[in-house]
Amino acid sequence: MLFSRGRSVVLALVFLLSPAAHADLYDDDKTVAAGDLKDLDYWQCKYYQTMLEAGIKSKQPEYLVGTLASVLSTQTLPPLIKKYPKHEELKKWLEKDESILKRVNKNADRNVHWKPEFEYWDNTHYRQAWVNMNMGRMEEEAKDWPNAVMRYSFANENANTLAEHEDWMKAWPADVIKFVKETKEASEAKAKEMKKKV
């Protein structure tokens, strides 16, 4: 018994004093080099990055596009890159956003608004539906059923809110409205499916 206890103490000390014990608990995050991440901040960032590119494609007011690129390049992406320093896509986004920012006319009109057909990008319910549908998929792939239920349910709640206010979407593009309707149905079905696995 004494030997067993002594051995346990020695093993405990070896564990506490070993270099591995002082490593970052989430060091694995630092080795991720590509692909989507099961990280809410990542999906929020990807949403805004996607919207920035859509804004340029639809020729939204230059000042507003520049403002979005500035927030992404100075506030949103740097912390993510610090967390995932090897992730190539994040680095490419930052490089692209900095390039966009350099090309924005410093004297661009500031008294402007997004075009009506693009106002969906700044709708909280649309963003939450988009982000949480993707997070739900990541949680499902990780077999984290409780969090998958939560994310799909949240996506459904926001898609339902949009569906109840069709007047908000009257100027939105057909593919965006289609996404809302499909998300409403898919998120409800997925939430029910995930609940059965909990």
* Domain annotation covers residue 19: no
Give the Cα separation of 12 and 17 in Å (integer): 9
Q: What is the pLDDT of residue 31?
A: 86
Q: What is the pLDDT of residue 24?
A: 52
Structural domain harbouring 72:
31-114
- Using the structure block, give the residue that is written with the tokens 């608004």: 113
Whether 104 and 67 have beta carbons less than 8 Å apart is answered as: no
Tell whether 173 and 189 lie within a shared domain: yes
| Alpha-helical regions (H) of the chain | 2-17, 40-57, 62-71, 77-83, 88-103, 124-141, 145-163, 174-195
* Domain annotation covers residue 110: yes
Closest CA to 29 of 93, 89, 85, 88: 85
Tell whether 59 and 70 lie within a shared domain: yes
Give the Cα separation of 143 and 41 in Å (integer): 20
In this prediction, the residues of the chain whose per-residue pLDDT falls under 50 are 1-4, 6-23, 25-26
Tell whether 166 and 94 lie within a shared domain: no
Tokens of 188: 């409800």
Angle at 56 between CA 53 and CA 60, to 5 degrees: 130
Given 81, 98, 114, which residue is the final one in a domain?
114
pTM here is 0.84
Tell whether 110 and 128 lie within a shared domain: no
